[in-house]
Structure 1
Amino acid sequence: MKRTICGVAAALALAGCGQNSETSGQPGASAEARALSVVSQVQTILGGVGSDTTVSAPRVIPGGFSSEAIAADPGAYRLMQVNALGLVEPGRIIQENGDEVTLALQSGPTAAYDGGILVATRGFGDDLITMDSAGVLEALRAGGGTVSRRMETLDAQDQVLTSSFSCTITSAGQETVNLGLREATLNRFDEKCRSQALIFDNIYWLDGSGQIVASRQYVSPTVAYLRSNRL
């Protein structure tokens, strides 16, 4: 499993750095061509995962995840990663209402975002039922701040547990981030959330217009963090 994840990361790094038309010496290379290349590499590597790993076979959702579909509309897809579960795969937008976006991973789980802030997941087993997003994006765009957030999860008896967090958002300066298809210099912000029973740290990378381009956000003790990159 560790070798597989490293192999995917290597493929993404090569695709992100080596196939950018601004750096590869191939001015005719389009975003669609780069998308097709990186998706093909990821699918090739994941397709070779042996039966002794814990990665399940992808369940293709109608409208799905072919290389041609991703290449035709890369903006509708994200690169999703959950290290704790050994997942590195595309996610597709299946519902969009203004800033509210729901993504379906190729293997089936879904993740809902509000303005780029993770607010719920389904299908991972140990899911985030709901998480308040109020004030987070505003604090990010303001350069930092403190917000109160509320999280709902399920306990072992499927009872809803509600936890309240005090979260501090601070700027960590600019950082060059490999997004899979490209590298970008983005503004990094760290969010440190604390309750009496739980501590977690989210990371957000924003572009110059204040849009969240990539993030690593907490889901649950079993899933840990969900990473999402715009292609």
Structure 2
Amino acid sequence: MAMTIRKSAMTRLGTALTCLALVAGCGNDPQNQNTGLDLIQELVANLSSEPPAPPSPQIISQALAETEGPLELFQREDNQRWGLMLKLEENRGYETFGTAFRQTATMRNGLLTATRGFGGDLMSVDISEVAPLISGRKPGQGTRIVRFLGDEDKTTELRFQCSVTVGQSVAVTSGALDVMARQVTETCQGDGREITNNYLVDSNGRSVSAKQWVTPLNGYFLTQTLRQ
């Protein structure tokens, strides 16, 4: 099946990247002002700050106003660095989101399945046993297989045995999102590691807010849906 490309998202990110490469020309020509560029530049300043500041409501509001389509907020738990990701494409239920810095994350129903551009990336994951439990908001057991880029750029595989439990319903309000979701916890052990993923799953089976373990180098990512 061919990919469904969101051209508006690609165009918006492409424009921002072009302006970043030619920042003097984009910033000094009053006939070529791009308020989207201001947003990207503020994100650049944030990514270089120590410690990084959380995204302000003003940045989130501006991002929602100046983009179209699904929008996600990604944040690394270890250093709190964050980025806004627009949906770029979809292929058989797998959605790929991207930043203006050419980093991408692929998700299925809000569950991370791959990353690129972060270093030590998640190359692929087999969640065929646990994903139906998480999306279905049902308790149970399953296997999670994580394949990531390790030493000397070689792909390493980790296999986990996981237990999925379900908690209470909570309201989730972020950006343009306002839904009820159920707490779902996935606890996994294997290869001498223990990881715990926390999800808030809506009635459609999508995780709209989560803390997900990615790879040994990247640790946990916090993901938050701002617009579906």
* TM-score between the two structures when normalised by the length of structure 2: 0.68
What secondary structure does 1:143 align onto? coil
1:208 aligns with 2:216: no
Say which structure is richer in strand: 2
Unaligned runs of 5+ in 2: 1-35, 53-58
- Of 158, 163, 169, which residue of structure 2 is paired with 1:168? 163
Aligned equivalents of 1:136, 1:158: Cα separation in 2: 28
1:80 aligns with 2:35: no
Q: How does 1:113-192 map to 2 (within 5 A)?
A: 113-140=107-134, 141-181=136-176, 184-192=179-187
Identity in percent: 25
- Of 85, 88, 94, which residue of structure 2 is paired with 1:94? 88
**1:85–1:223: 8 Å Cα contact kept in structure 2?**
no
The one-letter code matched in structure 1 to 2:50 is: T
What secondary structure does 1:135 align onto? coil
Aligned equivalents of 1:189, 1:66: Cα separation in 2: 26
Aligned equivalents of 2:173, 2:81: Cα separation in 1: 17
**2:183–2:198: 8 Å Cα contact kept in structure 1?**
yes
Structure 1 pair 97/159, CA: closer, same or farther in 2 (3 Å)? closer
Aligned equivalents of 1:49, 1:202: Cα separation in 2: 27
What secondary structure does 1:125 align onto? coil
Q: How many aligned residue pairs are there?
A: 184
Of residues 182-191 and 114-123 in structure 1, the stretch that sits farther from structure 2 once superposed is 182-191
**1:80–1:228: 8 Å Cα contact kept in structure 2?**
yes
1:120-178 per-position Cα deviation (integer Å, ceiling 9, x unaligned): 11111121111112132311215221111211123322222111110111012123444
**1:80–1:105: 8 Å Cα contact kept in structure 2?**
no
The one-letter code matched in structure 2 to 1:209 is: N
Number of the residue aligned with 2:220: 225
Number of the residue aligned with 2:101: 107
